[in-house]
Structure 1
Amino acid sequence: MTNRPTVAMLGTGIMGAGMAGSLLRAGCDVRAWNRTASKAEPLTAEGATVPESAAAAVEGADFVVTMLFDADAVLAVIGEAAHAFGPETIWIQSSTIGLEGTKRCADLAAERGLTMLDAPVLGTKAPAEQGKLVALVSGDSAAIDRAQPVFDAIAARAVRAGDELGRASALKLACNAWVASINAATAQSIALARGLGLEPQLFLDAIGGGPTDSAYAQAKGQQMISGQFPTSFAVDGVIKDLELISAAAVLAGVSDQVLSALLGRYRQASDAGHGGSDMSAVYAGFAAPES
């Protein structure tokens, strides 16, 4: 690997595009690929190249980052491109695909002789664009050390979850359960305040600066009050993650009652036409009466 690593970014949706931009600013050579090529093309203005296929993106790359919707998409893309991996190429699997999905990817990596790191990230659109994600990483420690330039580019910090593939994905599920809960709880309180005839801003003002406050509640709460939901992380993406989290909870013998309730609210918001809207649109799942 040279001082200017080559990174194949497979998947340039909201998160992948932001991560690609951060890699470019850090001085990496970035090959951006997406099944819908038009989603990758804007990155050429920042210095990325856009190969015609995933295999072409991977060939000769030092690192391959996957940021795709689900395990099936990851397996399909890597299955098509695995033959183009070099012996030193490291696959950084950053999609949120749960425990079973990560095991399937690890099995594919073992079958094809690929070096894989389990490396989902915490954060949404703005942190991805700013290189301020939190990388959760598990796998071979020497491979993690070699991949540090990638983590330095995309993340404010990296949390090592263990040597076993899947430990980072397990941590991601626990973290996303928390994020989905904060967001829905904020919606519930804003809906309740409005339903009781209060200005909903009073709720955010009341918790502001106190021990129960959070920057996330304030940011998402403002979107809920305004009724504007510019997408950083879509409602349907949260539904997919909550399904993965619920499956993991059952496997771990942990109650999934709260998760089931959360899923109900996010699904209701999606059914109301907000599936592609930001997760703050879960507010619609509480059907708060307008005062």
Structure 2
Amino acid sequence: MKVAVLGLGIMGQGVAGVLLREGFEVAVWNRSSGKADALAAEGATVASTPGEAVDGAEVVLSILFDADSVLSVLGEAAGSVAGGAVWLQASTIGLDGTARVAHLAESQGVGLVDAMMLGTKKPAETGALVMLVSGDASLVEKARPVLDAMGSKTVVAGDRVGNATALKLAANAWVASVTAATAQSLALAGALGLDASLFLDAIEGGASDTPYAHVKGAAMLAREYPTSFALDGLRKDVGLIAEAAHSSGVDATVLEALRTVYARASSNGFGGDDIAAVYEGFRPASS
């Protein structure tokens, strides 16, 4: 089975590598072609255009930053998508962005599945993502081998394109919240004169514990933020989540606070670092 991967950021590179190791024929495209070098060495075909990448592919994966990028690439590649192929739209682009992409796909005769990825760099590189999908059931089944290779499980959110995006927004609200809450508690403990690591000791093994707090908390305590999920990427997602909350009538007080603290960390120069760098938005200015 040939798979085209459009977009080679952290997630795209990881997924493409997994598909190669699982025996798929993989074509890749990225605006900055240098990101494809390592994949080419593993056997991927590097395309110079999106249309070239999708030519002959049975499954297409778009893993891009925002809705405008997806619309641009879909518009450029649609004429080269094979009949019966499945386009897995895996970029987090919000409800409005997903609706716009679905409309364009339908007008171009492209079979679209909303295919969100839960997980960061390591799960993408090891095929351990949780895949959230929605769309025509027959298209989902056609793409099942690819979904199974990418993830440890697939959650079907319904037959309407957009349901998987809605579920991803709810899940990323949790990720943004628990990361920021961990940062706040560590910063508060330290500012009150404690060894901040005592907070992680206190919650360990209890009902309020979560492994994620320890993973991100360790990075915060070390103040080292190698990127698994870029802070500016989550900041973009929090904006999309807040828009969805406002449009659906859900109170967005917590989301607006999250927007503020992630924006503060970004303005302090940590936008390209891991989301754990939200800690830098909480620490007292003098410390």
> TM-score scaled to structure 1, two decimals?
0.97
Deviations 1:92-132 (A, max 9, x none): 00000010010001000110000000011100000000100
The RMSD of aligned alpha carbons is 0.9
State the Cα distance separating 1:290 from its structure 2 match: 7.0
- Give 1:174's aligned residue: 170
1:274 maps to 2:270: yes
1:103 maps to 2:99: yes
Matching residue within 244, 249, 252 for 2:248: 252
1:16 maps to 2:23: no
- Give 1:39's aligned residue: 35
CA distance, structure 2, for counterparts of residue 288 and residue 138 of structure 1: 44
Kindly indicate whether the alpha-carbon contact (under 8 Å) linking 1:58 and 1:81 is maintained by their aligned counterparts in 2. yes
- Give 1:215's aligned residue: 211
Secondary structure of residue in 1 paired with 2:284: coil
- Give 1:55's aligned residue: 51
Kindly indicate whether the alpha-carbon contact (under 8 Å) linking 1:10 and 1:66 is maintained by their aligned counterparts in 2. yes
Matching residue within 147, 155, 158 for 2:154: 158
CA distance, structure 2, for counterparts of residue 225 and residue 75 of structure 1: 40
- Give 2:120's aligned residue: 124
CA distance, structure 2, for counterparts of residue 241 and residue 232 of structure 1: 15
Kindly indicate whether the alpha-carbon contact (under 8 Å) linking 1:18 and 1:129 is maintained by their aligned counterparts in 2. yes
State the Cα distance separating 1:287 from its structure 2 match: 2.3
- Give 1:115's aligned residue: 111
Deviations 1:54-112 (A, max 9, x none): 10000000010000000000000111011001111110000000100100010001100
Matching residue within 208, 225, 233 for 1:229: 225
Secondary structure of residue in 2 paired with 1:192: helix
Deviations 1:192-219 (A, max 9, x none): 0100111111111111111111111100
CA distance, structure 1, for counterparts of residue 37 and residue 45 of structure 2: 8
Secondary structure of residue in 2 paired with 1:40: helix
CA distance, structure 2, for counterparts of residue 198 and residue 21 of structure 1: 43
Structure 2 runs not aligned, ≥5 long: none
CA distance, structure 2, for counterparts of residue 44 and residue 216 of structure 1: 33
CA distance, structure 2, for counterparts of residue 10 and residue 204 of structure 1: 39
Structure 1 runs not aligned, ≥5 long: none
Note the 1:84-99 alignment, pairs <5 A. Answer: 84-99=80-95
Secondary structure of residue in 2 paired with 1:135: strand
1:67 maps to 2:63: yes
CA distance, structure 2, for counterparts of residue 45 and residue 87 of structure 1: 30
Number of residue pairs aligned between Structure 1 and Structure 2: 287
1:284 maps to 2:280: yes
CA distance, structure 2, for counterparts of residue 7 and residue 132 of structure 1: 18
- Give 1:29's aligned residue: 25
Matched to 1:215, the amino acid is P
Kindly indicate whether the alpha-carbon contact (under 8 Å) linking 1:192 and 1:288 is maintained by their aligned counterparts in 2. no
Secondary structure of residue in 2 paired with 1:229: coil
Q: Which consecutive segments of 4 or more residues in structure 1 shift more than 6 A?
A: none
Kindly indicate whether the alpha-carbon contact (under 8 Å) linking 1:9 and 1:30 is maintained by their aligned counterparts in 2. yes
CA distance, structure 1, for counterparts of residue 64 and residue 37 of structure 2: 17
CA distance, structure 2, for counterparts of residue 227 and residue 261 of structure 1: 22
State the Cα distance separating 1:288 from its structure 2 match: 3.3
- Give 1:149's aligned residue: 145
1:196 maps to 2:192: yes
CA distance, structure 1, for counterparts of residue 166 and residue 7 of structure 2: 22
State the Cα distance separating 1:289 from its structure 2 match: 6.1
Matched to 1:99, the amino acid is L
Matched to 1:171, the amino acid is L
CA distance, structure 2, for counterparts of residue 227 and residue 89 of structure 1: 45
